Structure 1
Amino acid sequence: MKVVFACFLMLLSVQNYAQKTPSLYLIGDSTMADKRDPEENPEHGWGQMLPELMTDNIHIENHAVNGRSSKSFLSEGRWKTVHDKLKSGDFVIIQFGHNDQKFNSPDRYTNPFTGYRYNLGKYVKETREKGAIPILMSSIVRRNFNENGTLVDTHGEYPLVVRMVAKDLDVPFIDMQWLTEQLEVKYGEEESRNLHLHFAPGEVTYYVKRKDDDTHLSEKGATLVATLALQEIAKKDLPLKKYIKKSTLTKEIL
């Protein structure tokens, strides 16, 4: 009887801990997503690196998926999966844009000032309805240097709309476009290749052919981007700050 009672108390304690421990949910695209075979795959999403940079006092679930836009993430039921789990005190980081631009893909494309703006607002409002805290982020930049060595934007109006939604709905906003632009420029046109995926044929076993990808991140790039995001969250003194490791906050990146 004592053993049964002890087990009951232990189960109750675990349940209480789970209820008190907040969760951080990430929704977005491939630049944020977890990648398969992380020991072999050079590509990493920046959300994949957060468990190493945050404390164990928060539960992290990365629901970002390759190729998704603010539209397809909804239509595929992926947001419902997250929304059903949300509880008061949780956090949701929202970062879409790369695939909302794809006008040749009607299941993903959104007009920045209509569909995209509406979808971001929907994520924010439905997060708040559950008592959770939304955080909007603009997309990270692509490594897109012109012939003069100038980093050129590829996202058009989409980052502006994120700012508009954040202002209109009074949502915490992290300007990842600005932060990653500074990162790319600091590293320069050549060295910034190391933040992304540039490999000669056979240089890594994961890629048979030559790889030149200026959108997605290497492990180094993903770690730096994730660190920048968390440092900016801390600078804005958002509630998520207390779950960031001190060692993360003291790293000099820019």
Structure 2
Amino acid sequence: MTTASAAPTRYEAESSPAVCTGTIDSNWAGFSGSGFCNGTNAVGASVQFSVNASVAGMASVGVRYANGGTTSRPADVMVNGVVVQPGVGFDPTGAWDAWAVKTFTVAVNAGGNTIRLSPTTADGLANVDYADVDVAAVARYEAEVAPATCDGTIDSNYPGYSGSGFCNGANAVGSAVQFTVNASVAGSASVSVRYANGTTVNRPADVLVNGVTRLSGSAFDPTGSWSTWATKTVAVPVDAGSNTIRLSPTTSNGLANVDYLDVTTGATPSPSPCAPPSASPTAGQPKVTVWLAGDSTMADPSGGVCPVGWGNQFAQYFTANATVRNSAVGGRSIQTWLYDPNVTSTMDSSGECVISPVTYSSRWQAMLDATNGMKAGDYLLIQFGINDSSSTCPRHVGSARYQQLLGVMAAAAKARGAHPIFLTPVAAITCSGSTAVGNRGFVTETNNAASANGAPVIDLHRLSYTLYNTLGFCPNNGDYTSGPLGAFFCNDHTHFEAAGARQIAGVVARALRDQQIPLAAYLK
């Protein structure tokens, strides 16, 4: 499939035909154009943009906003009067003059469209500056049309579906829906699944491409009723030619009802796998900084030889035009990394650790510094989820809080023109017989946060235990002091010797290329 796209088009909130249910203000600095929409503090007090698309397809919508409050200001995203993404979070930005960008993907028609942000709480909207909209052509694959297959029935008893019906999968683990998708070139595909979930619980599913699990436990959250349809968008790698994309439920509740897939593929062939360092820098390439935020599995060694985080070995995979700055710190959860030393040992009534005072750590403030911190074109790689699973403070982080803090970091990067990349936590070595298996939490949360914030995600959890299987680390006798296992790991099952860290760094570099993440242009 060949796609078409154009440079993003900017739609200012203060410029007609945009409509603001509130006032156009200019009292907070940093906005674009002549002002911003300050919506009335009420449910439904919205801002609406009139968007033109030369072709029907998927629109990447970047909403620039400011939220000087202390809580999220969620809004339903409506396209042409229909809610397509309910309750999208517009998280605090720290001040009303601190602007961030919230990115999501929606389907649009050729010609005129309306994109409306309708707040769902009495606090109303965040202040909205503009929407940047980029449209790419899309191919639609209906669940009821062969060669798509449905492990269930094709039904039509709930209205609002496209085509002649939808897949109502059997309520069982693995009762899947599968689509056959064509791509003209290898690369990354944006896959939007239209679905309905009339229950009150998430119906997660693994996303498999050509039989390989690319996303584990991707969430298909409740939509309110079986006749209320929503869109879940994920990014997956595809091969040139024919591919299968399969949604396989991971619980006995089975899948949500699935209407169709909208698939947008890139226009650039996938590069070859990551080679050992040897090439010279690319001429004319702008210089960028690759910022790393994470825990001990990513951090530089603090003394002695072990442990060595993979971030310490990452720079060797890049040309001289990319500088790696590793700010990962051992023993940190995402919250203690962000707020050191102010996360206390006290847990509040909601089950989260109390932060007092609520002041960012020096390492995060350094990244946010206007002079020496993140700048336009840079990249921020974020990997947590190991220490966060602690049951006690200060390291404990709950599921919702973890996703919120990933969103805070992504928004801050985007506000500075940098590009966030999320990583699931690297696996320790755990054997089930002769097979290395996953053992980390926060994998689903990382994927969900990536979807919510329009950021690519590298499933380092899966990629790392897949590497352990390739290296034949299972079964083993638990001796981390000698042999191949001892050369890879420190005297535990978690941390890396330099050689192991180098291989994990190579896995991350290869994923950048395989997933067509633009930072791959700086790889040797």
* Aligned twin of 1:27: 293
Residues 80 and 181 from structure 1, CA distance in 2 versus in 1: closer, same or farther, beyond 3 angstroms? same
* Aligned twin of 1:239: 518
* Aligned twin of 1:91: 379
Q: Structure 2 matches for 1:129-208, cutoff 5 A?
A: 129-146=415-432, 148-156=433-441, 158-189=442-473, 198-199=480-481
Find the partner of 1:217 among 484, 488, 496: 496
User: Which structure has the greater CA radius of gyration?
Assistant: 2
Instruction: State TM-score, norm by structure 2.
Output: 0.38
* Aligned twin of 2:367: 82
- 1:223 CA drift (Å): 0.9
> Does 225-234 or 75-84 show the bigger shift?
75-84
Partner SS state of residue 472, structure 2: helix
- 1:82 CA drift (Å): 1.4
The whole-number CA distance in structure 1 between the counterparts of 2:419 and 2:324 is 14
* Aligned twin of 1:69: 333
Partner SS state of residue 380, structure 2: strand
Q: Conserved in 2, the CA contact under 8 Å of 1:33 and 1:44?
A: yes
Q: What root-mean-square deviation, in Å, do the aligned CA atoms of Structure 1 and Structure 2 show? A: 2.2
- 1:167 CA drift (Å): 1.2
Pair 1:107 & 2:394 matched: yes
Q: Conserved in 1, the CA contact under 8 Å of 2:305 and 2:497?
A: no
The whole-number CA distance in structure 2 between the counterparts of 1:192 and 1:21 is 44
Structure with the higher fraction of residues in strand conformation:
2
- 1:153 CA drift (Å): 2.9
Partner SS state of residue 217, structure 1: coil
* Aligned twin of 1:6: none
The whole-number CA distance in structure 1 between the counterparts of 2:319 and 2:313 is 12
Q: Conserved in 2, the CA contact under 8 Å of 1:143 and 1:192?
A: no
Find the partner of 2:312 among 48, 53, 60: 48
Structure with the higher fraction of residues in helix conformation:
1
- 1:237 CA drift (Å): 1.7
User: What do the CA deviations read for 1:34-68 (whole angstroms, capped 9, x no partner)?
Assistant: 1135xx51431100001212111111100000011
Partner SS state of residue 118, structure 1: helix
- 1:197 CA drift (Å): 8.8
Query: Counterpart of 2:395 in structure 1: which amino acid?
Result: R
The whole-number CA distance in structure 1 between the counterparts of 2:314 and 2:470 is 23
- 1:192 CA drift (Å): 7.8
- 1:187 CA drift (Å): 2.0
- 1:89 CA drift (Å): 0.7
Partner SS state of residue 182, structure 1: helix
Residues 243 and 191 from structure 1, CA distance in 2 versus in 1: closer, same or farther, beyond 3 angstroms? farther
Query: Counterpart of 2:383 in structure 1: which amino acid?
Result: Q
The whole-number CA distance in structure 1 between the counterparts of 2:461 and 2:398 is 19
User: What do the CA deviations read for 1:54-113 (whole angstroms, capped 9, x no partner)?
Assistant: 111111100000011110011121322212211111110010011101113x1111012x
The whole-number CA distance in structure 1 between the counterparts of 2:325 and 2:419 is 15
- 1:175 CA drift (Å): 0.7
Query: Counterpart of 2:396 in structure 1: which amino acid?
Result: Y
Instruction: Report the number of matched residues.
Output: 209
- % identical aligned pairs: 29
The whole-number CA distance in structure 2 between the counterparts of 1:165 and 1:29 is 19
Query: Counterpart of 2:454 in structure 1: which amino acid?
Result: D
Partner SS state of residue 55, structure 1: coil
Q: Conserved in 2, the CA contact under 8 Å of 1:197 and 1:216?
A: no
- 1:165 CA drift (Å): 0.8
* Aligned twin of 1:5: none
Query: Counterpart of 1:110 in structure 2: which amino acid?
Result: V
Q: Which runs of 5+ in 1 are unaligned?
A: 1-19, 205-210, 246-254
